[in-house]
Chains A and B, each alone.
Chain A
Amino acid sequence: MTNERIDLPQGTLDLLILKTLAVEPQHGWAISDRIQQISKVLQIQQGSLYPALHRLERRGWIKAEWGASENNRRAKYYALTKQGRKQLEIETNAWRKLTSAVDQVLNMV
């Protein structure tokens, strides 16, 4: 199992968080759970999610609000801002360009 898991490249966590929040506002645990579910191979230490969330909030790409969770507990929900949506688009494009370029190089031989 450990063999199949890969470490996240620098900065990719931000992109994953933004993408996850593009669907609907979520609290931290749900974001982490969602990322794990969708991609079993990504190795994320759960704690590292929070500094990233705080950084994104400072930049104004996501905003936080306290709300009630599914089991009626107080939880901090994060939602994408307008600026964040734009940033998601920019980063997605950049990621696509990068991976396709790397693919091209790898497919050359």
Chain B
Amino acid sequence: MLSDFLYRLRAVFKRSTVESELHDELQFHLERQVEKYKAAGASDEEARRRVRLEFGGMEQIKEQCREARGTHLFDDFRQDLRLALRMFRCSPGFTAIALAALAVGIGANTAVFSIVNGILLKSLPYKDPQQLVVMFEQLPNAPAKFGFSPPDFEIARETFKSYSGIAAYQGIGYEVSGVTQPMRVVGARVTADLFPVLGVAPHVGRWITSDDDKQGSHVVVLSHGLWARAFGQDPSVVGRAITLDRQPYTVIGVMPERFEFPPRGAVLNGEPAEVFVPMSFSQVEREGFGMRYNTTVVARLKPGVRFEQARAEATTIAQSLPERYPPVLRGFAGGIAIPMNPLTEETVGGSRRMLLVLMAAVAMVLLVGCADVANLILTQSLSRQRDLAIRSALGASPSRVIRQLLTEALMLSIAGSALGLLVAYSSMQSLLYLAGKTLPRTESIGFDYRVVLFTVILALITPVLFGAMPAIRTAFRMDGEALKERGRGATPGRAHGRLVGALVVAQVALALMLSVGAGLLARSFVRLLSTDPGFRSEQVASITLTLPSGRYTNGRQVRTFYEQAIEAAREIPGTILVAIGNDLPLGVRERRAFSSDANTRPIPDVSRLIAPTWISPGYFESLGIPLKRGRLFTDADRPDTPPVVIVNQKLAQMFWPGEDPIGHRIRWGIDIPQNQSPWMTIVGVVGDVKQAALDTPTLPQVYVAVFQEPPPMFGSGSGLLRTFNLIVRSSRTSASLIADLRGVVRHLDPALPVSKAQSLTDMISDSVKPQRFSMTVVMLFASIGLGLAAIGIYGVLAKVISQQSHEIGVRMALGATAGSLVWMVLRRALILMGIGVGTGAAGALALTRFMAGLLYEIQPTDAVTFFGAAVSLAALAVVVSLIPAWRATRIDPLIALRAE
């Protein structure tokens, strides 16, 4: 095989040597034979005559030898290549447009594919990631899944049999200082078995052991990124000290560069951590049945155990969970389920649909581009028809001509792909910037062999798409008829017109589908933005702070800091209102079980979980959340006055429909006699705000007066009230306000990092980033698609006009008016457009339902969008046909006819 290849290679690249060797070899034979006959007594002339007769035709033998060497394919290819290059040189306009269409189409496909590749195709950076699953707990009637509570995790760890390892982690913020400027980082409390379960070894040092976990050692494993930022990748970092929340920790290891955990995109605890510390559950956590469902469990399936088996086991274990709960909680635990997901699915599942829609959109762009190129080639082939007909008359077979035309197509696509790679490479950064943190696994997005392979495959497929049909058509049109018929200026044949028409129809149909997709996303986005968030964001800014336990050791210190911060913020020029709250709208994370004095009445399908928020007086006024009934909090609500709460309208309607909720009472915890939580009286009802995102339904929500909480609450181990937002409504712009807010913090505690500083308008705009991303990208693709389709329609009509100039000239000579000529051109465009729009609408109807999950309050069959897309496409077609139509009226009949 190899020698065969080398032999052919030599034959191809050392052609002249091989040829002259062949000549020498045959010549040698002839002369020896002549000598032989002369030795036998023949005359020189007689001998040569006999030898020639015996030997056969010299050129024929040579040709047979060449064929035996197996190189004629290469020779043909070289010839085709030369012809193609000559063709490209002769028609630079054609070449430029074709290359641009292919480069844009292939480039956009490559860029999108590299995202899909990084997110969906590459495996997660753990050992055998397909064996990893994540488990959750689903509380009865809860709208979303939760993590495990610590005691439930410990039960799971000892009862599950499907796993070779089972670990838990919790996302938790830390203030890092001591070795760097103080900063807030995302951290994770992890059990010792997490790293063995993931199967990833640290880059430097060791990982957390079960002794670390049991003893609650202050040890920390760093991410590669933090190691680089804080220690400049110093390999002797192990054993060094680092300060977390103003407490000393010892660095014991550094994770590898590509390691990222928890993976971004997971529903819970889905922020990659920079510091990993031992979980070290406290006694309180360990015994806290029915509370703290915030630990995510990740486990590795034993070899041979299928996901379904593990899921069946989880169902059994969930059913037996109540036996392990304290008797009073058994009723509550009876409804707990343990849902689970493969880790990969949990990470990327949420973005799959959007990515597939992008992939489909960008594939359509490429198809429109291919149709453009096919049309160009077809029109081009009209002017070459005579050329090709002569070639075929001289003996080129149709397959030979097809091969020549396909070689041209292949060269176009290869050059287009090379340009496309450049396009993709340079547009990649802007795409990723646009995506921000809305995509999971962005660190794995890039150019690897698979992306290049994808481009190569496109380079090989596209010539078939745009080159095959024109080539076949051209090749079989080259009978003698072609020579006769294709006199100059004759109107192209019917079959040719049909093919060109079909391509235009396909382009229009694809462009319509793209426009419908983009239109749906755009309308959905507009709806989303016009959704009332329930608060006024203009001229409000906030900064987020977390008071580290190492410095603010007790609740009194935390509370004092709050009071001082509010005081100082009031002094900022322009301040109208100041307030604090542990959560802001669009970012309410806490969920709590609660009971009310309405629980005596059965309330079907009502979640016993609500979103609680701790706020200071002034919170509602600053955020412009309207008071509906009762009163707001005041400075008079103090720890020594009866506890009061404010609820949102949703909660009021759910529990006291048609009734005044003021004066009713609620308390934390479920409705059991052992519940010791104090009752809190409802004093006010406020308007609903969006708590998670603009497109999620509002949950019942309870607002608690933060300064009414006893000081120990502020310093509690849960850290709930250690994080807060300082909110300021001002007469100034947010940007300058934020600088002043930072100044307040610097003044109170110079070492305290600000974890987030934002205007609330930005906060809203950030919350719709995923939707903005998909909308922007699809709209971009749609406009490219429309542009390419416009070029296609224009090109075809322009060519048709120039080829029909003879016919038009005759018509004008016979008295046709300009209007009737314009109509002749427009009519053709409109007929094609109509068929294309019809086909495209049908296609869009079939396809857009896959987008349903991406749309907000818009049906995938939205009539307005379909109609709008069709109208704009028709308008576009009319505009681009007007130029060739106008040109048709400028044809001088004398010149057109004389050109004959």
A-to-B contact residues, CB < 8 Å: 27-29, 32-33, 45-48, 50-52, 54-55, 57-60, 66, 69, 73-76
Contact = CB atoms under 8 A, between A and B. Distances in A.
A55 B25 CA distance: 15
A18 to B, nearest CB: 16
Nearest to B54: A46
A58 B36 CA distance: 30
Contacts of A29: 28-29, 32-33
Nearest to A59: B4
Contacts of A32: 29
Interface of B: 3-4, 7-8, 21, 24-26, 28-29, 31-33, 36, 54-58, 60-61, 64-65, 67-70
A54 B29 contact: no
Nearest to B61: A47
Contacts of A76: 21, 24-25, 28
A29 B27 CA distance: 10
Contact of B33 (A27, A46, A69): A46
Contacts of B4: 58-60
A28 B61 contact: no
Contacts of A60: 3-4, 7
B-side interface mostly? helix
B29 A46 contact: yes
B13 to A, nearest CB: 15
Nearest to A83: B3
A51 B55 CA distance: 13
Nearest to B66: A54
A50 B67 contact: no
B61 A51 contact: yes
Given A55-B68, A74-B24, A76-B21, A50 B8 contact: no
A91 to B, nearest CB: 18
Contacts of B64: 48, 50-51
Find the residue from A27, A33, A58, A75 having the highest chain B CB count within 10 A: A58
Contacts of B68: 51-52, 54-55, 58
A45 B56 contact: yes
Given A58-B69, A59-B4, A47 B57 contact: yes
A71 to B, nearest CB: 8
A2 to B, nearest CB: 14
A1 B214 CA distance: 107
B8 A46 contact: no
B33 A50 contact: no
B443 to A, nearest CB: 50
Nearest to B1: A60
Given A46-B55, A74-B28, A76-B25, A51 B3 contact: no
Contacts of B29: 28-29, 32, 46, 50
A75 to B, nearest CB: 5
Contact of A50 (B7, B31, B61, B70): B61
Contacts of A50: 25-26, 29, 61, 64-65
Nearest to A61: B3
Contacts of A66: 21
Nearest to A76: B25
Contact of A51 (B7, B57, B58, B65): B65
Contact of B28 (A27, A52, A55): A27
B47 to A, nearest CB: 14
Contacts of B61: 47-48, 50-51
A53 B859 CA distance: 73
A81 to B, nearest CB: 9
A47 B57 CA distance: 8
A38 to B, nearest CB: 16
17 contacts: A29-B29, A29-B33, A32-B29, A45-B55, A46-B33, A46-B55, A46-B56, A47-B57, A47-B58, A48-B64, A50-B61, A51-B64, A60-B4, A66-B21, A69-B32, A73-B31, A76-B25
A54 B33 CA distance: 20
A69 B67 CA distance: 27
Given A51-B67, A54-B69, A58-B68, A28 B55 contact: no
- Which 8 pairs show the lowest CB-CB distances between chains A and B? A47-B56, A51-B64, A60-B3, A54-B68, A55-B68, A47-B61, A29-B32, A51-B68
